[in-house]
Amino acid sequence: MMFFQTTASAVNGCFLRYEPVANNLLLLNDAGGGWAGTGTPGTSATIQNSQCIVDIGASSRQMSGNTVFLSVAVTFKPAFAGTKTVWTETLTTGWTWSGAANRGSWNVAAPPGGNWLTPAAGMGPAQSFAVLRTDMAGLANTSAVTWMAGVSTATSNACQVRYNLAANTLELLNDAGTAPVASQMPGTPGTQQNSQCTLDAGASSRTQTGSTLVLHLAITFKPAFYGVKNLYLRWMNSASVWSAWESRGAWVAASAAMAPSVVPVSGAGSTQTFTFYYADPNGIAATQAVMPMFAAAAAVANSCYIRYEPATNTLRLLNDAATGWAGSAAVGTSVLLQNTQCSFNPATVTRSFVGNSLALALPVTFKPAFAGSKTTYFESLSTAGVWSGLQVLGTWVVP
């Protein structure tokens, strides 16, 4: 195990595990309670959490006698900026842990001035969002930073959290978006809530390195607020002038039984990344396959019908006649799958699991012959052979 973190904790860190016998490289998720992904070094794929991205294809291992040489290609995310300690530990086949050993330090450089958010997409009823603010004029020029989840930039009926730098306080705004519900320092036990969400100040934190501020906001969304929400950031300078809202992604506030959804819900274009969110109350292991489809009507022939199988991490594209598969490949494999309606490359597809939820991001290119208004459909198949039936998630116009 090798991990990067400010302390010897696996939570919200970049924690890597390598298993020599299986030649398997794993990355721990943000909560430190499961794996965000796994792969064999040298295989074309990437795995990531909110702190880092591991390029499995660019990683390698060599063995010589009793020695393992492991080279891991890691890219750190903006919200993980700051000085991190490099730790290692080992586990024997007899389940004896060595304990974490300090092996040095690494400075994750902050990007140029601006605002960033991690994660910028996902699904679930609760999440710790990392907000990074870098001010090239120094943080003395920044008075406040605001994070918001809502259907638009309208501040009413939203989940909006403001951080005041001088006072070191977090404030959840009320339903009208006009005043704070309360004011607490990050790390202080207690919560704030409005009708949309709850902010856990005790589980939230802030760190500052030079001109860079990193906030971790522990948010739980309320059932009445469930659905697709846009994520925004803005900041106020020392002259009390607010910036415009910056769009920084989308989140599906959902329980384990939430209905499937897609982002974007509507739009137009010949190429687009569609992120499908799906939850199985019995766990993703109980799902045999999920099938997004783009079509003019609820018929699979002459459509763009894609099937993803979680157990094998396999993607398939249906042929024009809907009699078989035009092609199939594992996520991360570079090959063009296409029919007369659309094409996509599994190498550009990403998928992540959070509890009972699946997020599948599909970059799709529609062909000119498929022009016109299309409906975005979705269906699922359980391991028991039960079909959900086609559900309408949105619309898309192919030019």
What is the tens place of the pLDDT at every residue in 365-389?
999 999 999 999 999 999 999 999 9
Residues 394 and 299 placed together within one structural domain of the fold? yes
From 253, 286, 313, the end of a domain falls on 253
Q: Which residues contact 315 (CB under 8 A, 6 or more apart)?
A: 306, 307, 308, 309, 328, 329, 330, 331, 337, 344, 346, 349
Is the pLDDT at 15 greater than 70? The verdict is: yes
pTM: 0.56
Residues 97 and 190 placed together within one structural domain of the fold? no
Residues 394 and 265 placed together within one structural domain of the fold? yes
Residues 276 and 234 placed together within one structural domain of the fold? no
Contact 355, 277 (CB under 8 A): no
Average pLDDT in the chain: 91
Is the pLDDT at 49 greater than 90? The verdict is: no
Q: Which residues contact 1 (CB under 8 A, 6 or more apart)?
A: 15, 16, 17, 18, 87, 88, 89, 90, 91
Residues 133 and 240 placed together within one structural domain of the fold? yes
Is the pLDDT at 363 greater than 70? The verdict is: yes
Residues 49 and 126 placed together within one structural domain of the fold? no
Domain assignment of residue 335, given as a range: 261-398
Residues 271 and 233 placed together within one structural domain of the fold? no
Residues 101 and 134 placed together within one structural domain of the fold? no
Average pLDDT over residues 188-211: 95
From 253, 273, 304, the end of a domain falls on 253
Q: Tokens 């320092």 correspond to what residue?
A: 185
Joined tokens for residue 45: 């794929």
